[in-house]
Amino acid sequence: MAKSFRSQSATLRRVLRYIRPYLPMLILSLVLSLITVALTLYVPILVGQAVDCLVAPGEVDFAVLGAVLLTIGVCVALTAGAQWVMNVINNKITYFTVQDIRHDAFQHIQSLPLSYLDAHPSGDTVSRLISDADTFSDGLLMGFTQLFTGVATIVGTLIFMLTLNPGITLVVVLITPVSLLVANFIASRTYSMFRLQSQTRGEQTALIDEVIWEQKLVQAFNHEASSLDAFDEMNERLRACSLRAVFFSSLTNPCTRFVNSLVYAGVGLTGALSVVSGTLSIGGLSSFLSYANQYTKPFNEISGVVTELQNALACAGRLFDLIDEPAQAPDPHNAHVLEDVRGEVDLSHVCLSYVPERKLIEDFNLHVKPGQRVAIVGPTGCGKTTMINLLMRFYDVGSGTINVDGHRTMDVTRKSLRQNIGMVLQDTWLSSGTIRENIAMGRPDATDAEIIAAAKASHAHSFIRRLPEGYNTVISETGGQLSQGQKQLLCIARVMLCLPPMLILDEATSSIDTRTELKVQDAFAKMMKGRTSFIVAHRLSTIKSADIILVMRDGQIIEQGKHHELLAANGFYAKLYQSQFAQ
């Protein structure tokens, strides 16, 4: 429980740091809260004075009563106006604060290493940015709206009651700690429950996101029943932990209400005795009973606020956990900017393991001359795509060095490195927007003529013309009505528009029909001329013309040479080739 309290305190301090820029608005909200409380607490005194104006049947001091009622009306109007302005300010503070936290979280995602994104479900990350942020904003708004006002009401009521009758006030003060102890006892034990609820909700969001995204795969393998079972199991866990958290937190309100009823009864009893003894008037007792009611009401509200704040802080804690994830190492302050790249690439004694206990690439060495076409082949899991990740600095080497034109990639800005490398992968990358915007992603300033020329070079122009709006057709990130081959052609057009000095083609034509592939391969041949190119391929027929073929196995280069040389050597490459083209 001590660890939970420390975590909660640390989260609260982080929240307060985010609120600090809005301190002037917060101070104004507190001032308006005090004005609202003062006017609200002044009304019972006026009501008591109005009651005392009723001296006896037929004896009413209408002159004084009228003045008192007018004052009550003015106080009520001012209170309403102050509350409205205060609520507007509280809304602004809350949603500006949540906006800042969301911005920092999303901005931090841009700097997270791919190792984090590969190891964490995207649905859980989305749940933190959306569901947890919404829950946090609801709790924070309730805290601003009710917590400050509640505390001010309690303090102000005690002051007003002391001015009326210190003895009865003492009864109230003696019973109050019981309510605080009950609320604190329950609230301190619900934080961990709400945190578990948020985590489980994130897991469920991740599962839903995965199943919806891969629905074709689920249906193709008749996995519907298994997916439903997994969802039901997770849904049951969410129901159980949510019910537990809500049940225990809901005990706060009835427990404090019971204690508050004791306060009201104590005030009524001692006040009646004071009226009988002549130390308190009927109007004074009326005011005291109103104060007793107003004094106990904030405790009920605060108990509800504390429950919501537990939930809000648990959700905020998950957001801060995301923000605190170690970002990828920033570029050195004196990092070199690659310009006029020739495309000479050297890998020297490179090692990388995604997980420490499982070695992948060890002591990898390679020298690529400018303009060379390097084909990389080998069985699944041999490290082909990993090498691509290292070249692009999606992952940093565990040891060894990678040089481009004599500069270590670790000493080069990521932006300039990636600007000089064009990628076409088996997996297509599209964004929500028009066909034109998707092709021009790497060059937003490209002209229509340049975009159309790139589309023609990639043989995408013909199918784009047949779309309802041509290049202005809007597609989603999944490609919508486009086939897998058409989506891949768009990605090829994107690279052909940029024409960087180095290229990476990872099964770039895997989803394209054979006839179109022959045309695209011809376009690739023209595009690769004079450019350093890395071609990852399983279909060995597409790499016969490569300047050098690297045959990888278990993270090592076991053979290298031209196509006819490797066939003549009758080694591992020859076996791969014969397995594809044997009669």
Structural domain contains residue 331: no
* Sequence-ordered list of residues with C-beta below 8 angstroms from that of 231, at least 6 positions apart, any chain: 204, 207, 208, 211
Residues 317 and 418 grouped into a single domain: no
**Which H, E and C letters describe 138-163, residue by residue?**
HHHHHHHHHHHHHHHHHHHHHHHHHH
For the chain, the distance separating the N- and C-terminal CA atoms, rounded to the nearest angstrom, is 71
Domain boundary (260, 291, 323) is at 323
Q: How confident is the model at residue 114 (pLDDT cuts 50, 70, 90)?
A: confident
Coil vs helix vs strand at 571: coil
The residue whose two tokens read 């050098």 is: 548
Pairing of strands 421-424, 502-506: parallel
Residues 353 and 293 grouped into a single domain: no
Q: What is the CATH number of the domain that holds 432?
A: 3.40.50.300
| Element containing residue 517 per DSSP (H, E) | helix 514-528
Residues 290 and 379 grouped into a single domain: no
Q: What is the spatial distance between Cα 308 and Cα 515, in angstroms, rounded to a whole number?
A: 62
Q: Is the dihedral of CA 397, 407, 110, 13 positive or negative?
A: positive
Position 303 pLDDT exceeds 70:
no
- For residues 203-222, give the mean pLDDT: 78
Q: What is the spatial distance between Cα 192 and Cα 1, in angstroms, rounded to a whole number?
A: 9
State the angle between helix axes of 448-457 and 484-498 in degrees (0 to 180), rounded to the nearest 10: 120
Residues 148 and 274 grouped into a single domain: yes
Q: What is the CATH number of the domain that holds 201?
A: 1.20.1560.10
Q: What is the spatial distance between Cα 515 and Cα 498, in angstroms, rounded to a whole number?
A: 25
Q: What is the spatial distance between Cα 560 and Cα 551, in angstroms, rounded to a whole number?
A: 6
- The percent of residues above 90 in pLDDT, for the chain, comes to 2
Q: How confident is the model at residue 1 (pLDDT cuts 50, 70, 90)?
A: very low
Question: And the tokens for 57?
Answer: 């049947």
**Contact (Cβ atoms closer than 8 angstroms) between residue 502 and residue 495:** no
pLDDT at 363: 80
Residues 277 and 408 grouped into a single domain: no
Q: Is the dihedral of CA 355, 357, 359, 362 positive or negative?
A: positive
pLDDT at 2: 43
Structural domain contains residue 333: no
pTM here is 0.67
- For the chain, the domain total comes to 2
pLDDT at 341: 86
**Contact (Cβ atoms closer than 8 angstroms) between residue 501 and residue 341:** yes
Structural domain contains residue 335: no
Residues 263 and 382 grouped into a single domain: no
Q: What is the spatial distance between Cα 374 and Cα 357, in angstroms, rounded to a whole number?
A: 30
Domain boundary (323, 357, 382) is at 323
Residues 479 and 399 grouped into a single domain: yes
The residue whose two tokens read 């041999």 is: 382
Q: What is the spatial distance between Cα 389 and Cα 41, in angstroms, rounded to a whole number?
A: 67
> What is the per-residue DSSP string for 521-566?
HHHHHHHHTTSEEEEE-SSGGGGTT-SEEEEEETTEEEEEE-HHHH
The mean of the pLDDT values for the chain is 80
Residues 492 and 551 grouped into a single domain: yes
Q: What is the spatial distance between Cα 175 and Cα 491, in angstroms, rounded to a whole number?
A: 72
Range of the domain at 462: 345-581
Residues 318 and 349 grouped into a single domain: no
Q: What is the spatial distance between Cα 407 and Cα 309, in angstroms, rounded to a whole number?
A: 52
Position 404 pLDDT exceeds 50:
yes
Structural domain contains residue 163: yes
* Sequence-ordered list of residues with C-beta below 8 angstroms from that of 341, at least 6 positions apart, any chain: 404, 405, 420, 501, 502
pLDDT at 57: 61
* pLDDT, tens digit (0-9, with 9 covering 90-100), for 333-385: 888 888 888 888 888 888 877 776 667 777 888 888 888 888 888 777 777 77
Q: Is the dihedral of CA 329, 335, 340, 342 positive or negative?
A: negative
Question: Residue 361 pairs with which residues in a beta bridge?
Answer: 352
Q: What is the spatial distance between Cα 487 and Cα 300, in angstroms, rounded to a whole number?
A: 58
pLDDT at 205: 81
CA distances from 583 to 139, 549, 577, 580 (A): 70, 24, 12, 9
Q: How confident is the model at residue 50 (pLDDT cuts 50, 70, 90)?
A: confident
Coil vs helix vs strand at 284: helix
* Sequence-ordered list of residues with C-beta below 8 angstroms from that of 236, at least 6 positions apart, any chain: none
The residue whose two tokens read 């390097």 is: 374
Q: What is the spatial distance between Cα 22 and Cα 412, in angstroms, rounded to a whole number?
A: 39
Residues 429 and 528 grouped into a single domain: yes
pLDDT at 449: 92
pLDDT at 360: 73
Q: What is the spatial distance between Cα 454 and Cα 553, in angstroms, rounded to a whole number?
A: 36
Position 5 pLDDT exceeds 60:
no
Structural domain contains residue 328: no
CA distances from 447 to 440, 451, 531 (A): 9, 6, 24
What are the φ/ψ torsions at residue 195 (nearest 5 degrees)?
A: -65, -40
State the angle between helix axes of 282-323 and 62-111 in degrees (0 to 180), rounded to the nearest 10: 10
- Go through 488-517 and write b for each residue having 16 or more CB atoms within 10 A of its CB, e for each that does not: bbbbbbbbbbbebbbbbbbbbbbbbeeebb
Distance of CA 194 to the CA centre of its chain: 18
Q: Which of the 8 DSSP states describes residue 394? A: S
Residues 251 and 286 grouped into a single domain: yes
Q: What is the spatial distance between Cα 386 and Cα 552, in angstroms, rounded to a whole number?
A: 11
Structural domain contains residue 539: yes
* pLDDT, tens digit (0-9, with 9 covering 90-100), for 140-150: 777 777 777 77
Structural domain contains residue 332: no
Position 171 pLDDT exceeds 80:
no
Q: How many CB atoms lie within 10 A of CB 343?
A: 21
Phi-psi region of 475 (alpha: psi -120 to 50; beta: other; left: phi over 0): beta
Q: What is the spatial distance between Cα 391 and Cα 277, in angstroms, rounded to a whole number?
A: 92
Residues 243 and 372 grouped into a single domain: no
pLDDT at 77: 92
Structural domain contains residue 330: no
Phi-psi region of 349 (alpha: psi -120 to 50; beta: other; left: phi over 0): left
> What is the per-residue DSSP string for 292-350?
HHHHHHHHHHHHHHHHHHHHHHHHHHHHHHHHTSPPPPPPPTTPBPP-S----EEEEEE
